Amino acid sequence: MNVGVAHSEVNPNTRVMNSRGMWLTYALGVGMLHIVLLSIPFFSVPVAWTLTNVIHNLGMYVFLHAVKGTPFETPDQGKARLLTHWEQVDYGVQFTSSRKFFTIAPIILYFLTSFYTKYDPTHFIFNTASLLTVLIPKLPQLHGVRIFGINKY
């Protein structure tokens, strides 16, 4: 039990999103991504914003909703092995501050993107689709749900 660790926390992954400075680092990371995309001369401002939104949502989907389990062994005998990181946050307790923050962040990014793309229809379709891929898995009703058995094991 808890081999080699100095605390009685069963799954440290549950506390990572609450640690000091994580939210700031996340915001700075998104800002950095946006600046890099804005610096590429081929992209106009709307394209850069749409790309930021889409890449951010893609990254969030992969790391929070696709990758399952923990990158280290935990003493919980595999309870968290089939859970994505989002499902592991705070041991499955819904509506904690970290969950609220990471739900609101893509929404704010979506608002900014919609503004800077001047509500253009093509951009709108891409941005909305990408926002939905990242918002729907966060709903409490979808905790532990695997549609069509994708990503189940």
Partner 1 sequence: INHIVHNGGLYKRPFNEAFEETPMLVAVLTYVGYGVLTLFGYLRDFMRQWKIEKCQNATEREEQKDFVPLYQDFENFYNRNLYMRIRDSWNRPICSVPGAKVDMMERVSHDYNWTFTYTGRVIKDIINMGSYNYLGFAQNAGACQEAAAKVLSQYGAGVCSTRQEMGNLDKHEELEKLVARFLGVESAMAYGMGFATNSMNIPALVGKGCLILSDELNHASLVLGARLSGATIRIFKHNNMQSLEKLLKDAIVHGQPRTRRPWKKILILVEGIYSMEGSIVRLPEVIALKKKYKSYLYLDEAHSIGALGPSGRGVVEYFGLSPEDVDVMMGTFTKSFGAAGGYIGGKKELIDYLRTYSHSAAYATSMSPPVVEQIITSVKCIMGEDGTTVGKARVQQLAENTRYFRRRLKEMGFIIYGNEDSPVVPLMLYMPAKIGAFGREMLKRNIGVVVVGFPATPIIESRARFCLSAAHTKEMLDTALKEINEVGDLLQLKYSRHRLVPLLDRPFDETTYEETED
Exactly one of 33, 43, 69, 90 binds partner 1 (CB under 8 A); which one? 69
Nearer to partner 1, 11 or 103 (CB): 11
Of 98, 41, 33, 34, the residue nearest 64 (C-alpha): 98
Q: Does 5 bind partner 1 (CB under 8 A)?
A: yes
70 lies in the binding site for partner 1 (CB under 8 A): yes
Closer to partner 1 by CB, 12 or 100: give it: 12
| 8 contributes a contact to partner 1 by CB under 8 A | yes
Considering the complex, what minimum distance in angstroms separates the CB of residue 15 from partner 1?
7
Contact, 8 vs 74, CB < 8 A? Answer: no
Six-digit token string for 126 = 């891409």
Count of residues that interact with partner 1, criterion CB under 8 A = 28
Measured from the CB atom, is 3 or 150 closer to partner 1? Answer: 3
SS (H, E, C) 88-118: HHHHHCCCCHHHHHHHHHHHHHHHHHHHHCC
